[in-house]
Amino acid sequence: MNTRQQCKRIYSWVGRAKSSDQKMKTFQYRGILIKSERSLTEMCILLGEFVLVEGANADQPFVAKLLKLYEDGSQEKHAVVQWFSRITELPLNKRKLLRREVSPQEIFLDKAPGYGTDINVETIIKNVKVIPLAPEEVVPVRSKGKQIFFVKESWDGKCFKPLSPGLLSELKEAEKKKRVGSPTPLTDCQVFPSDFICSLKAETDRVTRSTMKTKNIQMEIESRHSASKSSLSKERHSQRVANGINTPGARKKLQLNSPTKSRNKLTGCNVLELLGDDCDALEAREPSATKRKVTFTEILGSPPKVSRTNGEPDSPQTMRGDWSKVAETIRISPYRRGQDSSLKAKNLDGKDDDTCLAEEQELKTRRPVVIPRSHRKCVQKTTALIAEQLHFLNISEQDQEDDYLPSTDCSDSSSSEEEESMVPCTPKRKTRSSTTLSTPKSSRKPSDTTPANTPRKSPEPRTPKTPRNATPRIPIRNQATEKPANVLEEARLRLHVSTIPGSLPCREEEFQDIYNFVESKLIDGTGGCMYISGVPGTGKTATVHEVIRCLQQAAENDELPSFQFIEINGMKLTDPHQAYVQILQLLTGQKVTATHAAELLAKLFSTPGPKRKTTVLIVDELDLLWTRKQDVMYNLFDWPTQRQAKLIILAIANTMDLPERIMMNRVASRLGLTRMSFQPYTYKQLQQIISSRLNHIKAFEEDAIQLVSRKVAALSGDARRCLDICRRSTEICEFSSQKSASGLVSMAHVMKAIDEMFSSPYINSIRNASLHEQMFLKAIIAEFRRSGLEEATVQQIYHQHVALCRIEGLQIPTVSEIMAICSRLGACRFLLVESNNKYLHVRVRLNISQDDVMYALKQE
């Protein structure tokens, strides 16, 4: 999304209209030319190629195959695509159907209905490589290569199927055609923006040719291919120069390099860019390796240059010696491998031959990669690793048609040190950072913070313990929990509020209303809001969750279009604006700041997404999202009104008149009039709830249940309270010494539990207070009566207190004691005491009614 904002791209057609439809007034084209405004480079994408399409998540663009390009009457450029889905785009519960680990590079041919295949051309980002695999093939492991995708199976919304042979071959054909044919059409549509690139290109060619030459001397075994290879590679290189240069940073670097200083450095950068080209999907570290290689070829050609070029103190002699040694060790395997593939290439038809050529080329360019630096320990280790892995590959190669593995291995094993040093130059990194740069926390990779989103293994975590990768979890307990041993314990377990009941009794009507509302919106593919109110403990959230569960069930059974469900809770946010952050994170897995999240969400909901499901959003404790400007609420309720949003909002709050009371008119109007209020439960409903929870466990006497329900219904109608009382009464029953004859929870137990929970503590605590504390309370009342005011100073009360003590014949407390008593009573909040240091002049008020105090004191 923001890549588009950052560097504007210009889209134009390749060639002239291929055909036109007079009736529809459309013109069809065979390709699209994407011109990046910033880097002045162009990319040509033809029909049949694979492209990345902008999606909700900037890090995970959609993958699609270009089927058709046309321009309609209103001059808008359209494309018809065949979608491919990443594993993360598939519903969670369906992923299990695969019964295997899926690498993040694997995509699925998406045959699920419901997505529009007609997209705006301007959402296309770039082309991408997709390699079809036969069902029995294993998806090669790549740690970071995001730019190559593998397709193996198709997905039709219900199950996964291997690609049909026809389709597979078709895809492969396209793949092959692309590989062979791409340079030719590209050259004619390529425009080099400035002269220096041309000169650069020439220079590059020269160097590469010299590289080839040296290599040819070394590798007689491949001499057969060398001629075609060098020419081919030249073309490829030139293409890559043009393609890869569109990263502004890299270009800058090129300019900085003076031509006299070092050709090899130039080529290093070039190669770096070449390899950074998207089509090649090279790893971030590879370019660094390639750079070394180029330096090295120079060394071979002209030893004196060495010290200048790579500035390392070692003499060329030792280096060469080192290299030859290491080369000896690793040469065997790649050579054999090269032979193998070339042999195979001979056996196979021409199509494969080409691939082999390219691969060998790649192999060769990459193989001596680390050698010049092999005096470093880590590099030696790496080379050894490569050798080992290459050897391993030789063994397993027989059943592998695709030969991209070695490159991954190289990248996998290259040292982290090199990675560190090369990070700024890697084009891939750059593209990534450009997508995240706009967020203030650019250092934070969004994918890292969402472990659930991409289960990709990070090759080398730099610091082992950063809070960023922390997974939130609570330690696992050692011993298993004990199962309930008797009926009462079982009942207690079932009566716990946390237990999710199988059904929600007494809310059938509300359930049906909400269900119908969401269902109709889902079917229509529109959005809407519903406001649900009710006092706490009336089952609002539970009912809504139940609705969602049922809808998800229905969607799974294909009775409804599938939807995405997210939930936020005003109380679980630290600030109303955090709502944006949470919604965005739940939707796409991105983690950005609130203001940015708001922008992204607004854009997401206002633009027609090519591949978007309806979103059902529950906003619990809505009143907490209130801000002075009410912008959060406004946005929340504004989004569903937009045509493309496909957003259904269920807002939950306590008060029925919330929209009228705290919302501005424009917010309340957007919320609409679809309201529902949950009435407090009546005693019959509460009774039913308890019975259904107990589910025929005989733990309560019928009367006891009725008593609880009536009590709670009279007080608040809060189901939580009801369940808590029941739970407490089972405890009282269990520990009461004289159990009722039946062993069931009886009225007496319930009464006791109710008393515990609802009786006012004041009277009891006053009775248990010390004598002078009671006397002080009496003195307060006496003073109030005397003065006729509800407020008195300690001094006045003290006089009353002294008088009372004289009557009772008690020792008269000192003023310090009186002050202590006063503050004690104040701490318990029997009294409201002014909090200042006015000593005797502190004013005191009663926090309980005088009647209560009198009642408590008289009973003695």
Cβ proximity to another protein, 190 vs 541, nearer residue: 541
Cβ proximity to another protein, 640 vs 813, nearer residue: 813
Nearest distance in Å: CB 847, another protein: 7
8 Å CB contact between 124 and 79: yes
Cβ proximity to another protein, 803 vs 854, nearer residue: 803
The size of the chain, in residues, is 860
Cβ proximity to another protein, 654 vs 740, nearer residue: 654
Cβ proximity to another protein, 158 vs 767, nearer residue: 767
Nearest distance in Å: CB 775, another protein: 8
Other CB atoms within 10 A of residue 223 CB: 11
Give the closest residue to 568 by CA, choosing from 615, 511, 514, 629: 615
Cβ proximity to another protein, 324 vs 469, nearer residue: 469
Nearest distance in Å: CB 479, another protein: 5
Nearest distance in Å: CB 777, another protein: 13
8 Å CB contact between 5 and 438: yes
Give the C-alpha separation, 783 to 796, whole Å.
7
Nearest distance in Å: CB 671, another protein: 20
Cβ within 8 Å of residue 679, ≥6 positions away: 534, 538, 717
Cβ proximity to another protein, 310 vs 774, nearer residue: 774
Cβ within 8 Å of residue 324, ≥6 positions away: none
φ and ψ of 11, to 5 deg: -110, 130
Give the C-alpha separation, 856 to 850, whole Å.
10
Nearest distance in Å: CB 781, another protein: 18
Nearest distance in Å: CB 851, another protein: 17
Other CB atoms within 10 A of residue 807 CB: 8
Cβ proximity to another protein, 665 vs 760, nearer residue: 760
**Residue carrying structure tokens 């709670």:** 712
Cβ proximity to another protein, 350 vs 467, nearer residue: 467
Q: What is the DSSP-derived secondary structure letter of residue 745?
A: B
- Provide the token pair at 486: 């008797």
Cβ proximity to another protein, 371 vs 581, nearer residue: 581
The phi-psi region of residue 133 (left if phi > 0; otherwise alpha if psi is between -120 and 50; otherwise beta) is beta
Give the C-alpha separation, 819 to 419, whole Å.
72
- The long-range contacts involving 218-224, CB below 8 angstroms and separated by at least 24 positions, are 219/335, 219/364, 221/335, 221/338, 221/339, 222/338, 222/342, 222/360, 222/364, 224/342
H or E segment and range at residue 589: none
Three-point CA angle 160, 163, 164, nearest 5°:
125
Nearest distance in Å: CB 96, another protein: 19
Nearest distance in Å: CB 733, another protein: 13
Nearest distance in Å: CB 852, another protein: 11
Nearest distance in Å: CB 827, another protein: 5
Give the C-alpha separation, 78 to 71, whole Å.
6
Give the C-alpha separation, 250 to 273, whole Å.
8
Give the C-alpha separation, 695 to 687, whole Å.
12
Nearest distance in Å: CB 677, another protein: 16
Give the C-alpha separation, 167 to 390, whole Å.
32
- Work out the burial of residue 790: count CB atoms within 10 Å of its CB; fewer than 13 is exposed, 13-18 middle, 19 or more buried: exposed
Other CB atoms within 10 A of residue 284 CB: 22
Nearest distance in Å: CB 234, another protein: 52
Cβ proximity to another protein, 673 vs 827, nearer residue: 827
Nearest distance in Å: CB 758, another protein: 8
Cβ proximity to another protein, 554 vs 802, nearer residue: 802
Cβ proximity to another protein, 260 vs 479, nearer residue: 479
Give the C-alpha separation, 418 to 477, whole Å.
43
Nearest distance in Å: CB 669, another protein: 26
Give the C-alpha separation, 544 to 548, whole Å.
6
Q: What distances in angstroms separate CA 111 from CA 85, 361, 402, one per listed residue?
A: 9, 37, 26
Give the C-alpha separation, 471 to 303, whole Å.
53
Cβ proximity to another protein, 16 vs 473, nearer residue: 473
The b-or-e profile of 792-801 (16+ CB within 10 A means b, else e) is: bbbebbbebb
Nearest distance in Å: CB 623, another protein: 10
Cβ proximity to another protein, 120 vs 654, nearer residue: 654
Cβ proximity to another protein, 673 vs 840, nearer residue: 840
- Work out the burial of residue 305: count CB atoms within 10 Å of its CB; fewer than 13 is exposed, 13-18 middle, 19 or more buried: middle
8 Å CB contact between 606 and 642: yes
Give the C-alpha separation, 849 to 831, whole Å.
11
